[in-house]
Amino acid sequence: MLIVCGSAASWIVDKLLESKGGFYDRVTRIIDLQPFTLSECPEFYREKGIVYTDRPIVECYMIFGGISSYIDLLSTVKSLV
């Protein structure tokens, strides 16, 4: 089983999905993952033990765009700055 994800969507399409190589026509399922919305982010922060007021939450959303793997990099002891 191979699971491919990343931000280089055009590379994934060109090299894996539309390529005539070993993976040609072997896609069984496409999982459509979406980033968190701004309203979902505070709950995710709380679950991670990160306490932010509204302003840092919005700033963080503008920086990371709701991508959970980037939000995981936040520190509970350091400020967003």
Which pLDDT value is given to residue 15?
85
Answer whether residue 62 shows pLDDT above 90. Answer: yes
- 74 confidence band (pLDDT: 50, 70, 90): confident
Give the residue carrying structure tokens 């280089």.
8
Cβ-Cβ contacts under 8 Å for 67 (sequence gap 6 or more): 35, 36
Domain ranges within the chain, ordered by starting residue: 1-33, 35-81
Cβ-Cβ contacts under 8 Å for 53 (sequence gap 6 or more): none
Answer whether residue 5 shows pLDDT above 90. Answer: no
Q: Which two tokens stand for residue 65?
A: 């765009």
Q: Which two tokens stand for residue 62?
A: 């503008």
**pTM for this entry:** 0.61
